[in-house]
Amino acid sequence: MNPDSIITLSDVTYGYSLKLTILEGIHLTICKGQYIGLLGPSGSGKTTLLKIIVGLIKPRHGSITFVNNSSLASNKPTIGYVPQVESVDWNFPVTVREVVAMGVWNQSGIAPWLKKNTKEKVDDVLESLGIGDYGSRQIRELSGGEQQRVFLARALIRNPDILVLDEPTSGVDQNTREKILGNLNELSERGMTIIMTTHDLAGIARRLPWVVCINRNIIAEGKPKDTLTETNLLKTYGLVDIIPTVDGR
């Protein structure tokens, strides 16, 4: 095992039935402090892989091993998870501050109000993401980009060792996208391990330090300039049309 690894997936296979295999034979090592992007077409297994890492589902075959390289007493690193915005029911009547506090609900007791120190933590993380004035607003009143940053705040309030994000820039404008990427870059520079999915090959993927191409199994991984080649993208997406976009021609 790589001494710097924080997550190791060995021969991981998952399917919703014996006839429908989503992931097959996944071998992947993620190191502490690594910032990686998972790339692949819809249905390629990217979100499924994130859910396995987070612990929402278990692989049908194979194993996932965590190494705690932090100072925490727990054997498993702390994981923060930011789901796709589209998967959330935004009609639920809850404020931004309450959503973020859900990230530390087990530390807040059972009282129907937030403790002072919890409220301070929530306000601090909201301020760090540029939405410090949004605490009392209803979550359903926010734009897609604002909602995305609120869920990022909910994940970050736990000060996780690993941050897992599913399409964090999906459906947001360019300005918001840059703000989110700026936040993630800052977290990466502080040593946080970040794993995210993205469909943006020409923009986001080429700016990440490390990318992994997935389509049921791992096609290729490495630095974008070495990995986003015509051969690997054809194997991953099966489309020639995306190649000029990625190469910038």
Angle between helical axes of 144-156 and 174-189 (0-180°, round to 10):
10
What residue spans of the chain are helical by DSSP H? Answer: 46-54, 96-101, 116-128, 144-156, 174-189, 224-227, 230-237, 242-247
Half-sphere exposure of 191 (CA within 13 A, CB side): 7
194 and 181 in contact (C-beta within 8 Å)?
no
Instruction: Please calculate the CA angle 238-210-10 and round it to the nearest 5 degrees.
Output: 80
Q: Quickly tell me which residue has 């986001």 as its tokens.
A: 204
> For residue 74, what pLDDT is reported?
53
pLDDT along the chain (249 residues), means of 10: 84 87 96 96 94 94 82 70 76 85 65 68 89 90 86 92 93 85 93 94 90 96 94 86 48
Determine the distance from the C-alpha atom of residue 57 to the mean position of all C-alpha atoms in its chain, rounded to a whole number.
Answer: 16
List the domain range (segments joined by +) for residue 154: 35-51+77-247
> For residue 84, what pLDDT is reported?
83
99-109 b/e (C-beta count within 10 Å ≥ 16 → b) = bbbebbeeebe
Could you tell me which of 205, 249, 210, 213 has the C-alpha nearest to residue 234? 213
Within a domain: residue 71? no
> For residue 249, what pLDDT is reported?
42
Pairing of strands 61-66, 5-17: antiparallel
Within a domain: residue 100? yes
> Which two three-digit tokens encode residue 242?
């995306």
> For residue 104, what pLDDT is reported?
81
Within a domain: residue 13? no
CA dist 158 → 27, 113, 120, 132 (Å): 28, 19, 13, 18
> Which two three-digit tokens encode residue 23?
């992931």
CATH (domain of 168): 3.40.50.300
> For residue 105, what pLDDT is reported?
67
> For residue 158, what pLDDT is reported?
87
CA distance 157 to 125: 6
Within a domain: residue 115? yes
> For residue 79, what pLDDT is reported?
94
- Residue 30 phi, psi (nearest 5): -115, 125
Within a domain: residue 65? no
Within a domain: residue 5? no
Within a domain: residue 219? yes
Within a domain: residue 68? no
Q: How many domains does the chain have?
A: 1
